Structure formats: structure tokens, C-alpha cells
């Protein structure tokens, strides 16, 4: 048989063999994005306490247009309604924060300074107050808040279900969301516990469209977190500093 005929025969065989799988995939209903988001956020906020580890990669676009990538990590311990501890470090910065129900403490480990703020009676109100007044935003604070579903859906102007994709061996629902200036790609575990496993944030309105990637690991939705977990540990020699109001305040 001439080569070109053999090639055509094999190509035709491949087409025939793949048709059933394609037809099957097209017949499967696309999951509801709202249901996926609601399931994820309800799972998170229904947990009285949780811990997790997050690996982070982020871009820095230079004035020359060159793009550099840095890495960091976040460890979170949270006990609702009014306790958290966040430890964060990357190639450019390092910080640690505590909230014990009455006091918010933030330590800049590289600068060797710390600040204290009397705080509200819940995690959500405390984080909202320090963000609005002082421009201080905790890593992943919005995602872990009780209003995470509303924060995501009210800001989104476009959304798309991309598919069921693998993240480190875990099948996950891949969702694309945007408000026109920022795009979020979110992967939610497709198993029994619909937790986020990966997040990519793209700043569409900045030069070079820098991205920040988060990989969520070591989820524990039933940890033992005694009060001591949320007691501030100020490094020796750290100086007390005042929080500066955000611009416009």
C-alpha cells in the first residue's frame, strides 16, 4: 500500500476511535460555576477552625519590560469567630500577624518593627477595618472570610467553566473569572471536599499583566488550635511603630 494511503487509513482510524469519547464529553453537562463557588465558600466558612499552607509565585515587571518571578509561602491558622495567625515570607518581604479577639498585631520581620491595633470582635470586621483605614491586607483574607461568595460574585463581570483539570494529581474544576481589570483562574477539588487547590491572579490593567500563583496544600478543617496559637510573639529588639493611615484617610 502506498505510504499516503496508509497514512490516510491511520488518520481515519484515529478519528473513528476518538468519536465516542468526544460525543460522551459533549453530552456531559457543564457544572454550574455558582454551585461550585457556593460549595467551596460554604465548606470554608462552615469550618469552625482551619489550617493550611500556601506556596506562592509572583511576577515583578521591571520598567524595562523584563519580568522577574519570586516565590513565597503562607501559613494560616484560623479559629472563628475571632482568632487568626498568619505567617508570610517571600524573596522580598516577611511578616507575621496575630488577632486574639481584641488586638491585631503585625510584625515586619525584615524591618524589625511591629504595630498594635485595638480590633473589632470578628475576623471579618477586623480585616475590613485594617484594610480600609491602613491599607493592610492579609494574604487570602477575602477567600477565607464569611462573605467570600459575595466578594467573588459581586465583582465578577465574566465567568467561564474551563474544564476538569489535574492539579498535582488532584482532579479539579477549572474556572475563569474576570472584572475586566483582574482575572482569576480558580481550581476547586472535584472530590468530596470542594476546597481550592490553585489560584492564578492576573493584573490585566498593569504593564506586562503580572501574575500571582497560589498552590493550596495541607488543608485541615478540624485542627486543635489552643488560645496560645494566637498569642503574639514579638521578636527581641523589634521596635514599636505606628500604623500610617492609607492615602485619603
Per-domain residue ranges of the chain: 33-240
Query: Omega before 81 cis (within 30°)?
Result: yes
At residue 94, the pLDDT reads 97
Looking up cell 500604623 gives: 243
Q: Tell me which DSSP letter residue 6 carries.
A: H
Q: Which CATH class is domain 33-240?
A: mainly beta
**pLDDT at 17 exceeding the cut of 60:** no
**Which of 2-16, 64-78, 111-125 has the highest average model confidence (pLDDT)?**
64-78
Quote the pLDDT of residue 24. 42
Do the strands 49-61 and 67-79 form a parallel or antiparallel pair, or are they unpaired? antiparallel
Concatenated DSSP letters of 136-199: ---TTTTTTSTTHHHHHHHH-SEEEEEEEEEETTEEEEEEEEE-SSEEEEEEEE-SSS--EEEE
Least confident of 10-14, 18-22, 124-128: 10-14
Band of pLDDT at residue 170, cut at 50, 70 and 90 = very high
More confident residue, 10 or 50: 50
Query: What is the structure's pLDDT at 121?
Result: 87
Strand-pair category, 182-189 with 196-203: antiparallel
In the predicted model, what is the mean pLDDT of residues 163-169? 96
User: What pLDDT sits at residue 192?
Assistant: 94
pTM: 0.86
Asked if residue 7 has pLDDT above 50, the reply is no
Amino acid at each position: 500500500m502506498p505510504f499516503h494511503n496508509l497514512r490516510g487509513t491511520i488518520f481515519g482510524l484515529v478519528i473513528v476511535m476518538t468519536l465516542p469519547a468526544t460525543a460522551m464529553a459533549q453530552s456531559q453537562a457543564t457544572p454550574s460555576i455558582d454551585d461550585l463557588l457556593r460549595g467551596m465558600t460554604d465548606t470554608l466558612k462552615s469550618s469552625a477552625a482551619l489550617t493550611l499552607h500556601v506556596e506562592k509565585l509572583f511576577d515583578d515587571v521591571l520598567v524595562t519590560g523584563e519580568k522577574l518571578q519570586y516565590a513565597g509561602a503562607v501559613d494560616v491558622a484560623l479559629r472563628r469567630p475571632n482568632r487568626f495567625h498568619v505567617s508570610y515570607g517571600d524573596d522580598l518581604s516577611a511578616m507575621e500577624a496575630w488577632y486574639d479577639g481584641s488586638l491585631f498585631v503585625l510584625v515586619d520581620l525584615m524591618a524589625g518593627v511591629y504595630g498594635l491595633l485595638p480590633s473589632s470582635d470578628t475576623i471579618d470586621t477586623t480585616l475590613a477595618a485594617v484594610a480600609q483605614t491602613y491599607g493592610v491586607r492579609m494574604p487570602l483574607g477575602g477567600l477565607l472570610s464569611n462573605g467570600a461568595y459575595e466578594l467573588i460574585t459581586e465583582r465578577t463581570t465574566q465567568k467561564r467553566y474551563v474544564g476538569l483539570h489535574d492539579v498535582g494529581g488532584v482532579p479539579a474544576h477549572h474556572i475563569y473569572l474576570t472584572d475586566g481589570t483582574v482575572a482569576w483562574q480558580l481550581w476547586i477539588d472535584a472530590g468530596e471536599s470542594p476546597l481550592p487547590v490553585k489560584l492564578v491572579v492576573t493584573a490585566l490593567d498593569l504593564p506586562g499583566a503580572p501574575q500571582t500563583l497560589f498552590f493550596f496544600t495541607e488543608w485541615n478543617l478540624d485542627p486543635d488550635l489552643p488560645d496560645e496559637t494566637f498569642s503574639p510573639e514579638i521578636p527581641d529588639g523589634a521596635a514599636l511603630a505606628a500604623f500610617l493611615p492609607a492615602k485619603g484617610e
